[in-house]
Chains A and B, each alone.
Chain A
Amino acid sequence: MKAISSAGNRSGNPGRWVALGLIAAIDLILLYGVTMMYASGETPFALLVLLIITTGTWVFISHKGYSYRYVYPALLGVSVFIVFPLLYTVNVAFTNYSSSNLLPLERVKAIHMAKTYRTPGESYSFKAWQQGENYQLLFISNKDTDKHLISAPFGELTEPTEVNARLSSELPDGKELAFRDTIQIRHILKLLTIMLPDGGSLSMTSLREFGPQTRIYDEGPNDTLIDSRNGDILTPDMTTGYYVDNTGEQIGPGFTVFNGWDNFSRVISDPGIQGPFLQIFTWTLTFSALSVLFTLIIGLLMACLVQWEPLKGNGVYRLLLILPYAVPAFISILIFRGLFNQNFGEINMLLNMLFGIQPEWFSNGFLAKTMVLIVNTWLGYPYMMILSIGLLKSIPDDLYEASAIDGATPIQNLFKITIPLIIKPLIPLLIASFAFNFNNLVLIALLTDGAPNIIGATTPAGATDLLVSYTFRIAFGQYGQDYGLASAIATFIFLMVGVIAWLNLKATRRFTE
């Protein structure tokens, strides 16, 4: 390959300059983005992009990086969408990031700083006038209706602006806006601070009124806020992620802070989490193991039957048997959700007709688990069958001929010839299948959504929930999103999957070499 590699290094051709220019242009755009990200406090993301830029530039400019040019885009995809999210999740596991502590400290501080309160003084009702692109406001004092003020003209605004107003007896130029149209420009009006001739100021207090208003908080040292009404000091509590006042009361919204091992210790010690967690963990292992077992048994059996020559029409059988695999899983799982429905489902109708029973598939824990396993076996056996057919083909026919001469039964054939010969290459596949079922979120999310619920759980948890679906519901469920806790559990799953992946690698190495 030496010849090929050195051939690519001819420099000095015009194409190279075009490429260099292109790389420089892309780099410039990305660097601008990095600056923007860094400026808005997104340090991890800025660092990520910076890393991508430097490695990318090196790979596409340096001669040494030539071979990497082919792998770089693929590696980039893998790192940005697998490795980085994994690291980021572990990072989030050590924070209190959740729907109540969503924003960074600076943003929460800005929210507090923008809070205002009504100060005593004259309020004014107002009307808006439009002339071209500009607006003017006419203020009429509520106390003294003869007192009219007119604001200086202003246009479209994006940030808070001060506008002067003067006493006047005539109307502004242009046409008066109807109330409906005035509401349309309220996003501009909210940004206005009207400076009165006597030194006071007004801001919008309601849809029809401007009144004297002042900010509640002034900025103090070390991110503290000083209440301008009574001199109270709010200090940011960096362990709970809330501003607290003198009495220790928390004032929302909270901000995101690192809280160390809190999320992990909650999993271990909080009875409302620990109990369901262990229960779900056991079920996840049981579910994955049983799924692999059932799909393997049925898959292998079907593979043997389909491969059996005297059975004519093997192709047709095979095609029909693969059908559950051909239909997208999200459709077939939802079909089962409907078929198993307690009241309208066809399965209960049939059972009622035949045996007079109507099992509660979604509200009884044991039945729900049974249903999940039935559906997953139905979904999964074709894959095992396909793999087994491939492996069975590699067994030489004369082994079976020899055993037939010795008068062996099919059962003996299966256990003495077939299984010992295919078990080695099968093991890595079984481990992979175990890992897949371990993380089978789609099945649970679409079929039961965890139902029936575990009683006494702090976070939503169900009897059929797998660890992934439990995590998913903590992070994106309807009852408050706790990203920190979800990430802590996800970190735990990473470790589990890591162990499974390592086992798989070992098994593959051992059985293929």
Chain B
Amino acid sequence: MIVQPRNLKYRVWATRIFMILFLCLIMFPFLMIISVSFRSGNFATGDLIPSNPSLEHWYLAFGIPWENPDGSVIQPPFPVMLWLWNSIKVSFVSTILILLLSTTGAYAFARLRFKFKEHMLTAMMILQMFPAVLALVAIYSLFDRLGNYIPWLGLDSLGSVTVAYLGGLALHIWLIKGYFETIDQSLEEAAAIDGATPWQAFRYVLLPLSVPILAVVFILAFITSIAEYPVASVLLQSMDNLTLAVGSRQYLNPQNYLWGDFAAAAVLSGLPISIIFLLCQRWIVGGLTAGGVKG
């Protein structure tokens, strides 16, 4: 038991008040955006709690035309649900691919012996500091040329974005490798003595033991892909192909400022992702600190 100072009670209360004030400051944007999404019109200013709430923006966000009391009908400005669906498709497929590649890679780095292993690991650690943003001209050019031979991997295709996200592997290899190294190797050796090939030892012994880290990597990679903006904004062009991250920007064009519509779309699309994150935060945080501390 820690020795407690006498004025503890005041300190706790002071801290509590400070925390609540700080949290108000932090939560302000979220509260504001929820309130804005229920205001009518795109320019109307109002209080934190809207005086005459309207579901206008929510209808539009779900892609349903909204009919004003005076009979005029507003069409949804952007296909938000389609963008969300695009984002989910891209993220899901790229995450599965990342998981496949990084698990096998991490297995080799953790268990097998081969030349240049240490060099490869160091190279990957350095390379993960070079984000894809830095080579966008090359990535654009790469997919432009690739599209001449394989159309579904060309510019303005969801395939190209999915594949481009595979560059983010290096970090995940480090994470999974770290976890594999905590698992006792004797289990696999026992399997090998019984005649298992390295593949079988990996598939039937190591992999079932590593489900927790695979889940963490899945969520991390999924969230990273869904929030990725630069690569998608360069590769995707037509309105129906955009991902949510690229599309959302259309709302706040100075020429066509749709603050209210954006608010509803933002809450609608941000909520599921945030909830997934918060539900899994215990594991994500563990993964982040482990990965972070290891570099």
A residues at B contact (CB < 8 Å): 1, 3-5, 7-8, 10, 33, 36-37, 40, 42, 45, 66-71, 73-75, 77-78, 80-86, 88-89, 92, 97, 302, 305, 308-311, 317, 319-332, 334-339, 341, 344, 346, 349, 378, 383, 386-387, 389-391, 397, 400-401, 404-405, 425, 428-429, 432, 435, 439, 441-442, 445-446, 468, 471-472, 475-476, 483, 486-487, 490, 493-494, 497-498, 500-502, 504-505, 508, 512
Contacts and interface: CB of A to CB of B under 8 A. Distances in A.
Interface in B178-225: 188-189, 192-193, 195-199, 201-202, 223
A177 B52 CA distance: 61
A425 B295 CA distance: 10
Given A4-B201, A334-B249, A472-B230, A81 B295 contact: no
Contact of B167 (A82, A311, A439): A82
Interface string B1-12: 011110010011
Interface centre among A3, A8, A74, A386 (most CB of B within 10 A): A74
B127 A487 contact: no
A408 to B, nearest CB: 10
Contacts of B4: 310, 404
A10 B102 CA distance: 26
Contacts of B294: 512
Contact of A445 (B148, B229, B266): B229
Interface string B142-186: 100100110000000000000110110110010000000000000
Which are the 5 A-B pairs with shortest beta-carbon distances? A81-B167, A74-B105, A85-B135, A70-B108, A85-B138
Given A8-B197, A336-B29, A505 B133 contact: no
Given A82-B132, A401-B2, A490-B135, A71 B108 contact: yes
B53 interface: no
B82 interface: no
Given A33-B149, A334-B266, 5 more contacts: A67-B114, A82-B130, A309-B2, A317-B19, A330-B227
Nearest to A32: B149
Contact of B23 (A85, A317, A391, A494): A317
A327 B270 contact: yes
Interface residues of B, number: 107
Interface in B260-284: 262-263, 266, 269-270, 273-274, 277-278, 281
A42 B145 CA distance: 8
Contact of B105 (A3, A73, A321, A324): A73
B257 interface: yes
A490 to B, nearest CB: 5
Contacts of A349: 45
Given A327-B270, A490-B135, A81 B164 contact: yes
Interface string B105-144: 1011101111000001010111101111111111111100
B26 interface: yes
B25 to A, nearest CB: 9
A337 B170 CA distance: 32
B108 A390 contact: no
Contacts of A7: 192, 195-198
A406 B129 CA distance: 45
Interface stretch (B30-38, B55-63, B64-72, B73-81): B30-38
Q: Main SS of the interface on chain A?
A: helix
B291 to A, nearest CB: 10
Contact of A78 (B30, B170, B201): B170
Contacts of A67: 108, 112-114
B104 A73 contact: yes
B285 interface: yes
Contacts of B252: 334, 337-338
Contacts of B45: 344, 346, 349
A89 B138 contact: yes
Nearest to B48: A346
Nearest to B269: A331
B289 A390 contact: yes
Contacts of B124: 78
Contacts of B111: 1, 4
A442 B100 CA distance: 28
Contacts of B112: 1, 4-5, 67, 70
Contacts of A309: 2
B236 interface: no
Contacts of A326: 273-274, 277-278, 281
18 contacts: A69-B108, A70-B107, A78-B169, A84-B142, A85-B138, A86-B138, A88-B142, A320-B23, A320-B26, A320-B27, A323-B27, A323-B274, A329-B227, A330-B227, A331-B248, A390-B292, A401-B3, A508-B295
B223 A386 contact: no
A87 B131 CA distance: 14
B56 to A, nearest CB: 17
A77 B188 contact: no
A75 B105 contact: yes
A508 B128 CA distance: 15
B101 interface: yes
A346 B197 CA distance: 63
A400 B2 contact: yes
A418 B33 CA distance: 38
Contacts of B173: 74
Contact of B136 (A387, A476, A498): A476
Given A310-B12, A327-B273, A472-B133, A74 B102 contact: yes
Contacts of A305: 15, 18-19
Contact of B135 (A89, A328, A442): A89
Contacts of B32: 335, 339, 346
Contacts of A45: 142, 145
Contacts of B273: 326-328
A441 B133 CA distance: 7
A445 B233 contact: yes
Contacts of B85: none
A3 B193 contact: yes
Given A81-B166, A82-B132, A387-B292, A378 B12 contact: no
A432 B27 CA distance: 27
